[in-house]
Chains A and B, each alone.
Chain A
Amino acid sequence: MDVQQAAEDLRKRTLSDIPRSLDRLIYLASMRDYNTGLYYHDGLASRFTQEVACEALADCHREAFRQLVGCSLQGLVGQMKAYMDSTHTSPSEFLTTWTRLEPYRVAVPVETDALSVQFLFSSFRIALAILGARLVPQRGEPGA
């Protein structure tokens, strides 16, 4: 019950400001310790307990992952474009980095089924290619 309350609290106070599921996925993955796999959020832990906060963050992370897997390719391209714009990086730099480093690989929650993960990674690759193709005419334009 506490975990549900904490997850609801997180949705209301923090995640409501992050409307896109791609942004949520990346944000929630950044709350996870790479070495232990545990999630940390000081505000949430102070209102509940560290264990409850960790579980609530993990729940919301899985939820964001499911939402992204259920998103159409067109929707994913739109989300990726919006995320790219929000980073204030040059689009070509962003696309090169995401294509080479594949940072989305570390944004996946644990205990997700392999096929969903494979499908999402595959969709990311296609979405990056579509955004890259849109960028090519811009690169060729005079003064671009």
Chain B
Amino acid sequence: MIQLIAFLFVGLLLFSSVFFLMRRNPRPEGRSGALVEARQALNALQAGLLPPELIERIFAKEDLEYVMGEAPPNIQTLFLEERKKTALCWVNQVRRQILSLKRFHLGSARFYARLSLKTEIELAMDFAVLLAACRALQVVMYVGGPYAAPKMVDSTAAAAARVCRISEASLDFLNPAHLSTLNGPSAGAARL
């Protein structure tokens, strides 16, 4: 009976090991897909969502003051609706791209980047705080409009930029300069 339990225990252990190994998706094409996805997320954040001048424009108080001072009530309503749509779209996209980067860090980053344990823990905290902040911002903007939490917008953008910097370091080897070095004859010979 004890032997049977021991065999079952070992079998269960082996089965769970195989299951977790399969979930890690060790196939090269799976990893390259994760890399491409992470690189795209990083580009979308850095070039499209986090430039300070764009954030400044979306949440510009001067536009609000101009419309409130110059336009009739129906246009004031239109303005607030339009800006709310854009602001919610911004925070939704930031959240989506951050989730994509988080997936990359959880699944693949350790294969490519040698992050210290301290950096990994800090990054995990950053992701958790950032995703919670995005959710909170979505709720605040949905209820109170685009101008309800300007400081929260600034802090979310700053936290997202910090996560991007760390992710960029993890994906640095994909930069064209590094790739050309890797593709160069000396590098090729060295690898062979």
A residues within 8 Å of B by Cβ? 69-70, 72-74, 113-116, 118-119, 122-123, 125-126, 129-130, 133
Contacts and interface: CB of A to CB of B under 8 A. Distances in A.
Interface of B: 44, 47-49, 53-54, 57-58, 60, 62-63, 66-67, 70-72, 74-75, 78-79, 82-83, 85-86, 89-90, 93
Contact of B63 (A72, A114, A115, A133): A72
A73 B75 contact: no
Contact of B78 (A115, A118, A125): A125
B22 to A, nearest CB: 35
Contacts of A69: 54, 57
Chief secondary structure at chain B's binding surface: helix
Contact of A122 (B62, B66, B70, B83): B83
A119 B44 contact: no
Contacts of B75: 126, 129-130, 133
B72 A133 contact: yes
Which residue, of B58, B74, B93, has the highest number of chain A Cβ atoms within 10 A?
B58
B89 A130 contact: no
Contacts of B53: 70
B138 to A, nearest CB: 15
Contacts of A72: 57, 60, 62-63, 66
A125 B81 CA distance: 12
B93 A115 contact: yes
Nearest to B78: A129
B97 to A, nearest CB: 11
Contacts of A129: 71, 75, 78
A8 B90 CA distance: 34
Contacts of B47: 113
